[in-house]
Each structure stands twice: as structure tokens, then as C-alpha cells.
Amino acid sequence: MEDANFIVKFLDWLMTFDRKALILAASAIGAGMAMIAGIGPGIGQGYAAGKGAEAVSINPKASKQATLVMLLGAAVAETSGILALVVSLILLFGNPIVTQEGAVIILVASALGAGISMIAGIGPGIGQGYAAGKGTEATGRRPEYQSNIIRAMFLGQAVAQTTGIYALIISLVLMFANPLVKLL
């Protein structure tokens, strides 16, 4: 009956590889998974860009101010993409998991988990991009309040970033200070 069980077969097959190969393979998947977070900033910045075009069409005289707010807001919205890139690059070039001691299955799962956790970046990316878009629109309407608008936008974006930062912390903990290995 055991031959029919796909999961048992799969695990048996996995165990035919050596320890290092398994961890490296998991890191490869993790590095790819982390970059899924790029969806967020993409949508968010696209929205901001659209709002930028709208703001310029509403008030062509304020196009400089609106563009500045759009660029600043979009730069902040990029943060979660950059954090995902950090995790991805660590997994690829500075992999700390390969040299760690402990059960191979936990290390493999940690490498995967570190990548998957960064998917949370989608949320802050979209949210911050939305804020950037609204800030741009507001600047287009009332360019004289540009500094106040930028301040409110930055504050809100910083708070929206929080979950993405939590994801980064979990990801870094899984890679550098894995508490699960010691529990075994």
C-alpha cells in the first residue's frame, strides 16, 4: 500500500538527495516566492502614476508639484519590493541556512518560509501606492498645500508599512536566528 501514497513516495524521493542540495533547492524556491511581493508595489505605483496623469490634466500649472509628490510616494511604495529583494538576495548570495546545524527538514522549511513570508509585501505595496495616488491627486487640486499633503501621506504610508516590516522580521529570524532548530 505504501507505494500508492504519493506523499510518502515524495518524501522518500526527497531523502535521496543530500542535505546541502535540499537546502539550496528550498532556498531557490524561497527566493522566487519572496519576489511575488512585487505585485504590490507594481499595482500601487501604477495607481499613483495614473493619479499623477489625472492631477496634471486637472491642473497643468501644478504639474511639477504633482510629479514630485507622485515620485516621493511611489519611492516609499517601493519599500516592500526592496525588502523582498533583500530576502531574495540573502537566500541567493549570502545564504546563512546552508551552514546551520539541525534537522534538514526544518531548515528546508525555514528557507521556504522565509520566502513565503515576504508575500505579505503585496498589501503595503498596494496600500502605499493608493496613498501616493491620492496624495498626488490632492496636490493637483491644491498645490499650495503640498508640504502638508506630503507630510500626511508619509505618515500614513509609514503606518501602512508595518505588516511588511513584520514579515521581514519573521523572514530574517527564520534565516539568521532560527528558534525552531533548538526546539528539536
Partner 1 sequence: MEGGFGPRVIFELPGGIPVTETVTTTWIIMAVLTIFALVATRRFDKVPKGLQNVIELLVDMVYKLTAQTMGEDKKAFAPYIGTMMMYLICANLAGLFGFRPPTADVNTTMALALLTFFMIHFFGMKRKGVGTYLKGFLQPFPVMLPLNIIGELATPISLSFRLFGNIVGGLIIMNLLYGALGGLSTNLGISIPVLQTGIPAVLHLYFDVFAGVLQSFIFAMLTMVFVSGAMD
Cell numbers 516590516 correspond to 165
Does an H or E element contain 29, and which?
Answer: helix 19-34
Give least dist CB 63 to partner 1, A.
Answer: 22
68 is a site residue for partner 1 (CB under 8 A): no
| Closer residue to partner 1 in complex, CB, 65/161 | 161
Cell numbers describing residue 121 = 509585501
Return the closest-CA partner of residue 37 out of 76, 4, 79: 79
Cell numbers describing residue 44 = 500601487
Return the closest-CA partner of residue 135 out of 79, 57, 78, 65: 65
What would the x/- binding string for partner 1 be over residues 81 to 120, using CB under 8 A?
-xx-xx--xx--xx-x------------------------
Cell numbers 526544518 correspond to 106
Among the residue ranges 2-10, 22-30, 57-65, 168-176, the one whose residues contact partner 1 (CB under 8 A)? 168-176
**Residues within the interface to partner 1 (CB under 8 A):** 75-76, 79, 82-83, 85-86, 89-90, 93-94, 96, 151, 154-155, 158-159, 161-162, 164-166, 168-169, 172, 176-177
